[in-house]
Amino acid sequence: MMKFIKIILLLSLTFSLSIKEVFAEEKIKIGLLVPLTGKNSEIGQSIVKSIRLAINQINNPLIEIIPKDTASDPTITLGSAKELGALGVKLIIGPVFNESLFNLDKLSDLTFLSLTNKNTNSSRNIISAGINATSQLNAIKKFININDIKKTIFLTPNVDYKNQIKQAISASKIRVMKSYIYNTDPTKLTQQIEEITNYKKRKQNLDDEIKRLEESNENNKEILIERLKKKDTLGSVEFDSVIIADFDESLKSITTSLLYTDISPKDKYFITLNQWFDESLLKEKSSQPLYFPSINKKNYENFSLKYFDKYNHYPNQLSFLSFDLIGLLYYLILQNDFIIDDKIFTKKTLFKGKVGIFEIKDNKINHILNFYKVENEEFKKIF
């Protein structure tokens, strides 16, 4: 029999718990490891501000947030983590960057909720809370199943996260016909896409058919030839959808190359990873419709407006995630009878936050994401 899974609404039920319902006598200490100085200090300061918003909504004086600077430096991060441990902290949000996780696995008495979306770390005390590739591919898999898509190819740039994508494909068990690693160099990219889409063969098919008609005695051959001359290629490709694991200008280079090889999003599904509602995609009409998994757009916009009203500037994406993590930790601590240890992340739990639904089990966090379509200059929610 399946275990009953509690789902709780972030910032509603958990945050409305009154003080008299809380039986802890000591402070609930939560550490925060973010860059407060250095080149990434703006990110760190924004995270601190979002956590203040969350704490104000919880409105429980027993919660104490203790921030420490990482300066985006692994050595400084390790020292700050030790300082937090000496203050009696056991749960820490952060660090932000994957590189800062170095040697934190040695601090076994501390549990870190890293804001990175890389889930390659195998240490029991380091939990990746970012929106990882597996979470995104799980959402894409759902979309593929709903639309009965049978043949999917996967395009991944030859960059540092390619191994994460490979692992996520395996973990999500998504149906992929073929996977390709492509060179991001524009001079080589188009040639690779031509090979993947069998462009030259399809181009030759068109030329051959036009020539055949010209030499034939078929009725209305002039009309048929005129129709063919309006085409770029003749013949189909093996796939009916393409997943592009890329972002920004590199993503646009891929979609442009696909269009050049006569592969249109009107005929084949163009799917990509979480784009955080990049508004520049709205202008790329030739690449629409474009599909991608993401956090809840409405909640993200509402949070951004509240943040702006409070601080007079907009938050970064990690601020939105860290806002939810405070509520998540508070809820898990309550469920664990105020015993703060690593066991609070072992039980299977679903937690509904502003980002979406957190799925927690065996010291891992995945996100159950929404799915969106870019079309007609707007982001449309699919599910």
Q: Is residue 3 part of a domain?
A: no
Closest to 113 in 3D by CA, of 24, 45, 51 = 51
Q: Do 193 and 203 fall into the same domain? A: no
Cβ distance 19 to 98 under 8 Å?
Answer: no
Evaluate if residue 10 carries a pLDDT over 80. Answer: no
Q: Do 171 and 124 fall into the same domain? A: no
Q: Is residue 305 part of a domain?
A: yes
Total-model pTM: 0.89
Q: Do 46 and 103 fall into the same domain? A: yes
Single-letter amino acid, residue 313: H
First-last CA distance in the chain = 28
* CATH number of the CATH domain containing 277: 3.40.50.2300
Closest to 332 in 3D by CA, of 76, 70, 78, 90 = 90
Q: Do 283 and 142 fall into the same domain? A: yes
How high does pLDDT run on average in the chain?
A: 91
Confidence at 124, pLDDT banded by 50, 70, 90:
confident
Q: Going by DSSP bridges, is the β-strand pair 364-368/357-361 parallel, antiparallel, or unpaired?
A: antiparallel
Q: How far is CA 193 from the centre of its chain?
A: 25
Q: Which helix (H) or strand (E) holds 293?
A: strand 290-294
Q: Do 185 and 317 fall into the same domain? A: no
Cis peptide before 315 (omega within 30 of 0): no
Confidence at 302, pLDDT banded by 50, 70, 90:
very high
Q: Is residue 12 part of a domain?
A: no
Whole-number pLDDT of residue 22: 44
Q: Do 249 and 337 fall into the same domain? A: no
Closest to 369 in 3D by CA, of 140, 113, 173 = 140
Task: Select the more confidently predicted residue: 19 or 158.
Answer: 158
Confidence at 120, pLDDT banded by 50, 70, 90:
low
Q: Going by DSSP bridges, is the β-strand pair 290-294/152-157 parallel, antiparallel, or unpaired?
A: unpaired
Q: Is residue 75 part of a domain?
A: yes
Task: Select the more confidently predicted residue: 246 or 122.
Answer: 246
How many domains, in total, are found in the chain? Answer: 3
Closest to 194 in 3D by CA, of 286, 239, 259 = 259
Q: Do 40 and 114 fall into the same domain? A: yes
Q: Is residue 332 part of a domain?
A: yes
Confidence at 26, pLDDT banded by 50, 70, 90:
confident
Q: Do 289 and 140 fall into the same domain? A: yes
Q: Do 285 and 249 fall into the same domain? A: yes
Tokens of 330: 């508070």
Using the 3D structure, point to which of 230, 251, 277 is the last residue of a domain.
Answer: 230
Q: Which domain, by its residues, includes 50?
A: 19-131+297-367
Q: Is residue 250 part of a domain?
A: yes
Evaluate if residue 337 carries a pLDDT over 70. Answer: yes
Q: Is residue 4 part of a domain?
A: no
- Phi first, then psi, for residue 357 (nearest 5°) are -100, 125
pLDDT tens, position by position, 229-252: 999 999 999 999 999 999 999 999
Q: Which of 84-88, 123-127, 169-173, 334-338 is least confident? A: 334-338
Q: Do 188 and 280 fall into the same domain? A: yes
Q: Do 48 and 107 fall into the same domain? A: yes
Task: Provide the percentage of residues in the chain whose pLDDT is more than 70.
Answer: 92
- The string of DSSP letters for 127-144 reads EE-S--HHHHHHHHHHHH
Evaluate if residue 21 carries a pLDDT over 60. Answer: no
Indicate the SS3 state at residue 333.
helix
Q: Do 289 and 189 fall into the same domain? A: yes
pLDDT tens, position by position, 340-362: 876 788 888 899 998 889 998 87
Whole-number pLDDT of residue 335: 85
Q: Is residue 7 part of a domain?
A: no
pLDDT tens, position by position, 28-69: 899 999 999 999 999 999 999 999 999 999 998 989 999 999
Whole-number pLDDT of residue 220: 92
Task: Provide the percentage of residues in the chain whose pLDDT is more than 90.
Answer: 80
Using the 3D structure, point to which of 278, 294, 310 is the last residue of a domain.
Answer: 294
Whole-number pLDDT of residue 364: 84
